[in-house]
Amino acid sequence: MQQLIDIVIIPMSKPMKIGLYKNKELFEEIETDKMTSDFLPSFFKDILEKYEIKNIIYANGPGSYMAIKLVYIFLKTLQITKNITILSQDGFYFNQNLPIKAIGNRYFIKENDTITMKESDIVGKFELPKVLEYSDFSKNIEPIYILNAV
């Protein structure tokens, strides 16, 4: 029987960060600048050969919408085909609630549970949690869309 793990994916900036967890504790951290669409299939092919996945948790925005959409579609497919639980949390959870790069000199800011765009001199750095608390994550896994249509 394969070891049971959880995976955390932070896809909205480069490098994309992925954490592997045993018994809720981070045991391997992966960073990649590769294109999300190229990296995820080979990564999950290798992971599924080595481990059984209990949960996949991902940062569902705001940030790089293309990467977030690709990850969402990929994970939703795994959820359906492999019966893996998918959970999410906004990106501010992974960067100590600091601004997240949007467009130009604009940044996503979260104040009082509301996400807006403002100028900022501060940019948060994404970090994987060392220990998972499942109660911190949501079963609502749809991406967070903030920008209005152009």
Query: pLDDT digit string (tens) for 122-137?
Result: 888 999 999 999 999 9
Please list, in sequence order, all residues whose beta carbon lies within 8 angstroms of the beta carbon of residue 39, skipping any fewer than 6 positions away.
16, 32
What does the pLDDT average to over 101-120?
90
CA 99 – CA 143 distance, rounded (Å) = 18
pLDDT tens-digit series, residues 25-36: 999 999 999 999
CA 59 – CA 110 distance, rounded (Å) = 14
Residues in the chain: 150
